[in-house]
Amino acid sequence: MKKWGFLIIFFLCLGLAAVKIVPFFQDKPNIESFEDDNVDSLVDSGDIQKVKVTEKQIHQGNLLLVNHDHAVDPENIKSDIVNLASHKELIKGFSLFDNKTYLSEEIARKFSDMLLDAKEEREFNFFITSGFRDFDEQNELYQEMGSNRALPAGHSEHNLGLSLDVGTTQTIMEKAPEGKWIKKNAWEYGFVVRYPEDKTDITGIQNEPWHIRYVGLPHSAIMEEKGFVLEEYLDYLKEKKKVSAMVEGENYTISYYPFSEGMTINIPKNHEYEISGDNVNGVIVTVYE
């Protein structure tokens, strides 16, 4: 039987499809955010460097929107995809569902760091059921499971390298301590639960408490504080244009820019920054104090 046949049987045994989500009460992140189009920011102070933005950058980065309408650019799939079974040093704090689980090495390390911290609280039993999938594997899954349970090749976050499915040997993720811990704490490590039950009308995807996505800080903290899924967060940034936030004592300025030919953006010198496209028509610049 093929891999996906095993996965289907496995998830059916867990009863994932038949259970409604259990409400989980959690603390909000320690964040102060100032939402104003004219907010003072790091970008407006000190010496300025001009950074050129290319059209390719629309489709690169940690904030890419991948769904039914926006596909993964094959040239911008994470370049550090590895077979985790061949890299035992990356498998810390969790187990693998099978020995053909692929994931970005960077994301695997961040995931491992998160779960090692979780294990300091109690003895959890996490494992990865699915990581990165290439287009051929995604197409096979789509053909086997149909459009109600899978996305076409190129339209799944699993094709990007930033997402993974997390399971537990105890019970379904919605009820398991592992699932509750992920839901409460993942944002601190830059991860978000991508497809919550109350946002299916926005994401177009059924409740998947096991599917987490890396977006990085401070974005995961802002999304958690405001209850946003990625679609809502990107719309929020487009509307506000600029947001200043303090997350866990660190200051950030996040700015959205619609792309135009030959565009440059002003960034203060001697500050770290990241640029991520939205995979639609713009870029998000995050400046760290």
**Torsional class of 205: left (φ above 0), alpha (ψ -120 to 50), beta (otherwise):** beta
Name the least confident of 130-139, 146-155, 261-270: 146-155
Task: Indicate if 58 and 118 belong to the same structural domain.
Answer: no
Position 72 scores a pLDDT of: 96
Residue 28 bridge partners (DSSP): none
What is the extent of the structural domain holding 168? 72-214
- Spot the catalytic one: 105, 140, 188, 208: 208
The reply to whether 223 falls in a domain is: no
Mapped onto helix, strand or coil, the DSSP state of residue 281 is: coil
Q: Which of 174, 199, 214 is the last residue of a domain?
A: 214
Mapped onto helix, strand or coil, the DSSP state of residue 133 is: coil
Q: Which of 214, 247, 279 is the last residue of a domain?
A: 214
Name which residue leads in pLDDT, 123 or 114: 114
Task: Indicate if 82 and 203 belong to the same structural domain.
Answer: yes
- pLDDT at residue 152 greater than cutoff 70: yes
Catalytic annotation on 208? yes
- pLDDT at residue 17 greater than cutoff 60: no
- pLDDT at residue 78 greater than cutoff 50: yes
CATH number of residue 269's parent domain: 3.30.200.180
Burial 123-133 (b: 16+ CB within 10 A, else e): ebebbbbbbbb
Q: Are strands 95-96 and 126-130 parallel, antiparallel or unpaired?
A: parallel
- pLDDT at residue 117 greater than cutoff 90: yes
Percentages helix, strand, coil for the chain (3-state, rounded to 5) are 35, 25, 40
175 close to 209: Cβ distance less than 8 angstroms: no
187-245 confidence digits (pLDDT tens): 999 999 999 999 999 999 999 999 999 999 999 999 999 999 999 999 999 999 999 99
Would you place residue 146 in the very low, low, confident or very high pLDDT band (cuts 50, 70, 90)? Answer: confident
Task: Indicate if 256 and 208 belong to the same structural domain.
Answer: no
- Find the mean pLDDT for residues 131-136: 96
Q: Domain count for the chain, please give it.
A: 2
- Find the mean pLDDT for residues 269-278: 95
Residues whose CB falls within 8 Å of the CB of residue 251, separated by 6 or more in sequence, listed in order: 42, 244, 245, 288, 289
